[in-house]
Structure 1
């Protein structure tokens, strides 16, 4: 071990050292906090004064460590962990944004691994360029513009924490830009294709190989039809819905048909029909927090179907969820009957196979395969074109911004209407047929039918040709 120079003095063994660099008259100090050596300048020229300042620096560092604050280094990693702690605390207290979970994931998976060892004050344009390049390498693709907005939001929360703790000032805070790939709309379904999706479910469910498979298909059907009817975000918005978060509504209205019927006395009377106008209000929680959304008659029918299957309930039409929708029923709606399992992780693969079997997977317009989000895009398209729902109303229902609606659906001609979110025209068109066009019929079922036809077809007999003697 090399001898210590006269310019190096131990203040506390294995804890605190003061030293002078070559060609410098200022004493520096090296001190250990939580097993890690740190460095700082005492800014003193006299050894006696430098030792006292070094002791004070170490004490302040120990206090900061005890208070869960970064020690003097202020590395990006330390500040980022504080930002994560703040978000986790808010989530635990119930006043945090749902998006905090995404930001925490982004900080832990991308920002700390890439920027962690840099000082928070050294996050300059070069560092941000390095972040962009490493992020693309880790993702193995160029992130979309919406992904970059989320990434920047997470990074800004780290900078917010640094400013709050006086590690940065607003003047030297980096300015971020979203330089991602332009987002593309999800492929949608046409009205005819949506009819095919819905009308093919029953036979597909019956073709299940066993009881468990059949139940999974039933739940996926329920989930899909609710997505089509509500425009909810695929995922936890509906999968985490509980019965106690549902409110049944009914607003009967008369429909004047304009047609006449002849009474026994020979007088005519207009035929007036009554629409019970049944619906539900659902409290869902997702990316943008908790909100209330509207489900129409199709969603009511789905919930009635689930109540019969799971609880054996068959109530009358004006009170369909009696003893099921109660303040004490903490059951999730979309779960298996016996084990109350969430089988949604298997849905994407099941959904792809279902669409592929019925020639509905590939969207020729966007040249993409359809996904569950395609239902949400279809809901918005039909609401704007057929039902003429105002953009502000649609944005509230879908839990998004008016700007986002305008950005993705500006190609549609939108005319405001008074019947907001009733969706009568779309519902009427979807329910107008229960038949499926041949192109969307199950390829598997057609193949089985062809094989059966060959087996049952009568065998053809061929007459032997007579040979004439020459």
Structure 2
């Protein structure tokens, strides 16, 4: 215990005292239970009232101890805020999982607003029932079981800290259950729709205004990588840096053509054809389930090559070597007199705020936003689901291999894709068949042609 100051007044020697903190006019109470000093506020500014309150708190702590309760408790909001600080420190230190951010959102948006005024050791099944009801009202829908599991994990972190600090006992900790509605399988794109998505980008970028071309071009590359790797939309790609890319070429001979002697080929040597098998490994650092490696094939190589060329005038290996600390999915800001940034020598590389709105705009303008069978709107996550569907049905990748690639569990793969009859992988993650099925140059159905109305240019 710290040395006693002039602002400290002993009420029971060695057992109970009150003190003023620096820059505070409210008296704090300190008392000892089983040799451990506890601290709480009296809520009083008058010293006489503070002493009376301190005596009551001390007596209450003794009674609570005799009845096997914690001698001191705290409001739920105070303990929860301490948990948020811990989670933020773990993230800053690089030790926290991606789920830490989900826990912080759950605590700040739902747990503190609904349970904040409760004493941490008084949260019982009645309080949890109130949480369930208020959460549905706040969300305007019934949460899925996955959402409830995340909220329960966050709530358990709060209970863990409360028990650690002695604010509640293990016996007073309520058991948490998750009985939310089953999460629905997201709507995928058909092969014809994927071809339309890939084949319509070039014209859509070409007809854009000058200040929109760069971000549209980046969206195209972002979509290509999502379709080719099954990565989760958002941070998994947007947080990637060039140093986290491994590029390799593994050429194989696919055929020979007999040739007659010519001026360029005087000895008539056979012409050999190679499949260069260019691949990249994405070392994803911000995955929901932790770090992992994901394989990208030709489409990913081409997308990253386009980004490196647009942003640096470098090829892919050069960008990896010369720009290791820079983020990949960035686009050059548009310089113009109207925007007042024309005087800059070099445009900055800008991070996209969100691709969701722009992607929806692209889908809507090509008649691809709404699934014609279910009537539901597609989301960027639909690209991940499309990847899994193609891998299982056409490339015959095993559930185990696909789970590793996508950073999820085998049970989740089997749960959402059991209807696809996945069989043992033949050419794992090479994807020759599916790449041919959705090649953009196979043509785009007329019903998916661009439907936007372009503004007439002023004369």
Question: TM-score per shorter chain, which class?
Answer: 0.7 to 0.9
Q: Which residue of 1 aligns with 2:188?
A: 188
Once the two structures are superposed, the pairs formed by residues 404-419 of structure 1 within 5 Å of their partners are 404-419=412-427
Q: What residue is the counterpart of 1:303 in the other structure?
A: 304
Structure 2: unaligned runs, 5 residues or longer = 1-5, 34-50, 62-69, 262-268, 333-346
2:319 counterpart (314, 318, 324)? 324
Q: Note the 1:246-261 alignment, pairs <5 A.
A: 246-255=245-254
Q: Which residue of 1 aligns with 2:202?
A: 202
Match of 1:390 in 2: 398
Tell whether 2:370 aligns with 1:340. Answer: no
Aligned residue in 2 for 1:146? 146
- What's the offset of the Cα at 1:377? 0.5
Select between 113-122 and 326-335 the one with higher mean Cα deviation: 326-335
Aligned pairs for 1:117-136 within 5 A: 117-136=117-136
* TM-score scaled by length of structure 2: 0.77
2:274 is paired with a residue of what secondary structure?
strand
User: What residue is the counterpart of 1:287 in the other structure?
Assistant: 288
Over 3 Å counting, the alpha-carbon distance change for 1:134 and 1:38 in structure 2 is: farther
Give the 3 Å change call, closer, same or farther, for CA 36–75 of structure 1 in structure 2: farther
Provide the C-alpha distance between the structure 1 equivalents of 2:294 and 2:9, rounded to a whole number of angstroms: 61
Pairing 1:164–2:173 present: no
The question of whether the paired residues in 1 share the 8 Å contact of 2:248 and 2:279 is answered with yes
Does the 8 A contact of 1:216 with 1:343 survive in 2?
yes
Return the offset for 1:411.
1.4
Q: Distance in 2 between matches of 1:114 and 1:87?
A: 20
2:18 and 2:27 in contact (8 A); partners too: no
The CA RMSD measured in Å over matched residues stands at 3.6
CA distance in 2, matches of 1:274, 1:36: 81
Task: Select which of 375, 384, 399 maps to 2:407.
Answer: 399
- 2:389 counterpart of 1:381: yes
Write the distance in 1 (CA, Å) between the matches of 2:329 and 2:416: 30
What count of residue pairs does the alignment treat as equivalent? 397
> Cα offset for 1:292?
1.5
What does the per-residue CA deviation read over 1:368-406, in whole Å, with 9 as the maximum and x for residues that have no partner?
111110100100111111111111111111111112111
Shift of residue 57, structure 1, vs aligned partner: 7.6
The alignment status of 1:112 with 2:107, answered yes or no, reads no
Q: CA deviation at 1:189?
A: 0.1
* Cα offsets for 1:58-88 (capped at 9, x unmatched): 8xx9xxxxxxxx9923222232223223322
Question: Within 5 Å, which residues of 2 pair with 1:432-447?
Answer: 433-444=441-452
Q: Distance in 2 between matches of 1:432 and 1:343?
A: 25
Counterpart mapping for 1:197-236 below 5 A:
197-209=197-209, 211-236=210-235
Tell me the SS of whatever aligns to 1:436. coil
1:207 deviation in Å? 0.7
The Cα shift of 1:172 comes to 3.0
CA distance in 2, matches of 1:91, 1:306: 29
**Structure whose CA Rg is larger:** 1
2:399·2:413 contact (CA, 8 Å) conserved in 1? Answer: yes
Partner of 1:369: 377
What TM-score do you get using the length of structure 1 for normalisation? 0.76
On the 8 A contact 1:16/1:32 being kept in 2, the answer is no
Whole-angstrom distance in 2 between the partners of 1:426 and 1:351: 22
Inter-partner Cα distance in structure 1 for 2:27 and 2:183: 45
Quick one: structure 1 residues 29 and 308, their matched pair in 2 at CA, closer, same or farther if it must change by over 3 Å? closer
Match of 2:365 among 354, 357, 379: 357
1:14 CA displacement: 11
CA distance in 2, matches of 1:119, 1:221: 51
CA pair 273-81 structure 1, distance change in 2 beyond 3 A: same
* 1:184 shift after superposition: 0.8
Partner residue, 2:264: none
Q: What is the CA-CA distance between 1:224 and the residue it aligns to?
A: 0.8
